[in-house]
Amino acid sequence: METTETHRAIEAVWRIESARLIAGLTRIVRDVGRAEEVAQDALVAALEQWPKAGVPENPGAWLMATAKHRAIDHLRRTALAEKKYEVLGRDLAERESIVPDLAEALDDNIGDDLLRLVFIACHPLLPTEAQVALTLRLLGGLTTAEIARAYLASEPTIAQRIVRAKRTLSEANVPFEVPRGAEFTARLSSVLQVIYLIFNEGYSATAGEDWIRPALCEEALRLGRILAGLVPKEAEVHGLVALMEIQASRSKARVGRSGEPILLLDQDRMLWDRLLIARGFAALERVAELDGTRGVYAIQAAIAACHARATRAEETDWAHIAALYADLAAVSPSPIVELNRAVAVGMASGPAAGLVLVDALRKEPALQGYHLLPSVRGDLLKKLGRFAEARVEFETAAAMTRNARERNLLLERALACA
């Protein structure tokens, strides 16, 4: 195999294996930063050896075995307290006497290890932006450069976030374990939020030249599916997966040939991915099987399902969607939820009814500077024939957004009101 092909194979293997590798190593060294360094050492070894010797038959096991030996070498070099070292040595010896290949022993617990790693990456000690960066690095296998490109940040900024996050976790001696009881529920909520933030940044990029970033959507979906497999009895996990599956199904229809945004009601629904929709519906059914109450993500998934069931835009059940937004507001009150409800009411009961709700939100502090508020208001005013006012709203929204594609769309809508 040529060197370039081997490097591509190594990159693919790393994307697949890095999370389980770091998770297993963290159980040994009890430090997520050190575990990642050891895993990186194994990757370097692969880059040096595989182009000459060829890709091993089981590349994941090769990386795990190599990383294991590097971890043991590191522990010896760091001169731990003698007693700790003896205990660790006996522990490793006992494991290897029971199971000849420690990699296989690590594989036996990989589900638990991955779940622990998820909760570490999304630890509440870390600020949200650090949780996102660390999750993409440890669980997604993305490089610092890839994360920086995805979030339009500089590499040094992302690198600092990751380094500080690992240092914070190390200094706090965060245990490598899954929390229990109320702490589990609270931390799971944080984990879901981080995954959804990653998905949303891919689905509607907040800044830059691209309207969508499919790679981030795919990464969030992959993480959500993994989490659903690790905690299969948690309804909200399936709710989030359902939401992302259905939203992602529209990706090909959301962008025109030149990369311009295509709004929901203008999309060619024949381009929607029916397999992803079916998977989303199945995840929603799983929510219903687990409990009768729907959480934030499951309600949003139900709203997305209403759109998915409509083969044409005019068949959309906007009254049901408005009712679902009311349910969402009851579970998680938010001015943004109310703005979305206003859109649904405007579609179900007419633009005048929607405008009343939007105008009630104009002084909301949380919506000051939020470009979708004037955008929605402009759309309702245009439908009412108040074109001059609509144009001002679209121009205001265009000035607020940091996404170039969205800005162009809003300016085009403003021009159409002239």
Give 89-132 pLDDT, tens digit per residue: 555 555 444 334 444 444 444 457 888 888 888 898 999 899 98
Confidence (pLDDT) at 2: 62
Question: Strand, helix or coil at 333?
Answer: coil
CA dist., res. 213 & res. 193, Å (int)? 18
For residue 140, pLDDT over 70 is answered with: yes
For residue 18, pLDDT over 60 is answered with: yes
Burial level of 30, CB count in 10 A (0-12/13-18/19+)? middle
Total Cβ atoms within 10 A of residue 232: 11
- Distance from first CA to last CA of the chain, Å, rounded? 62
Strand partners, 207: 402
Residue 208 DSSP code:
E
For residue 212, pLDDT over 70 is answered with: yes
Q: Which of 71-85, 91-105, 111-125, 148-162 has the lowest mean pLDDT?
A: 91-105
What own/partner pairs with CB < 8 Å and gap ≥ 24 does 307-312 have?
307/246, 307/264, 308/246, 308/249, 308/272, 308/277, 308/280, 308/281, 310/269, 311/269, 312/269
CA dist., res. 199 & res. 196, Å (int)? 5
Residue reference for tokens 């633009």: 351
Q: Each residue of 215-273: pLDDT tens digit? A: 888 888 988 998 999 899 999 999 999 999 999 999 999 988 888 889 999 999 999 99
> Between residues 371 and 150, which one has the greater pLDDT?
371
Buried b (16+ CB within 10 A) or exposed e, 375-385: bbbbbbbbbbe
Q: Select from 82, 92, 172 the least CA-distant residue to 125.
A: 172
CA dist., res. 189 & res. 199, Å (int)? 15
Q: Which amino acid is at 138?
A: L
Confidence (pLDDT) at 209: 67
For residue 195, pLDDT over 80 is answered with: yes
Residue 210 DSSP code:
-
For residue 383, pLDDT over 70 is answered with: yes
Give the percent of the chain with pLDDT over 70.
89
| H runs (alpha helix) in 291-334 | 296-309, 318-331
Confidence (pLDDT) at 12: 81
> Between residues 364 and 30, which one has the greater pLDDT?
364
User: Averaged over 44-73, what is the pLDDT?
Assistant: 85
Confidence (pLDDT) at 32: 86
Confidence (pLDDT) at 215: 81
CB 361 within 8 A of CB 342: yes
What own/partner pairs with CB < 8 Å and gap ≥ 24 does 62-65 have?
63/13, 63/17, 63/21, 63/39, 64/17, 64/21, 64/24, 64/103, 64/106, 64/107, 65/101, 65/102, 65/103
CA dist., res. 299 & res. 344, Å (int)? 15
CA dist., res. 283 & res. 239, Å (int)? 7
CB 307 within 8 A of CB 316: yes
Confidence (pLDDT) at 88: 54
- The mean pLDDT value of the chain amounts to 86
Backbone phi, psi, residue 31, to 5°: -150, 115
pTM: 0.79
User: Averaged over 349-368, what is the pLDDT?
Assistant: 95
Residue reference for tokens 């370039």: 4
CA dist., res. 69 & res. 415, Å (int)? 65
Q: CB under 8 Å to 2, separation ≥6 — which residues?
A: none
Confidence (pLDDT) at 291: 73
Confidence (pLDDT) at 71: 80
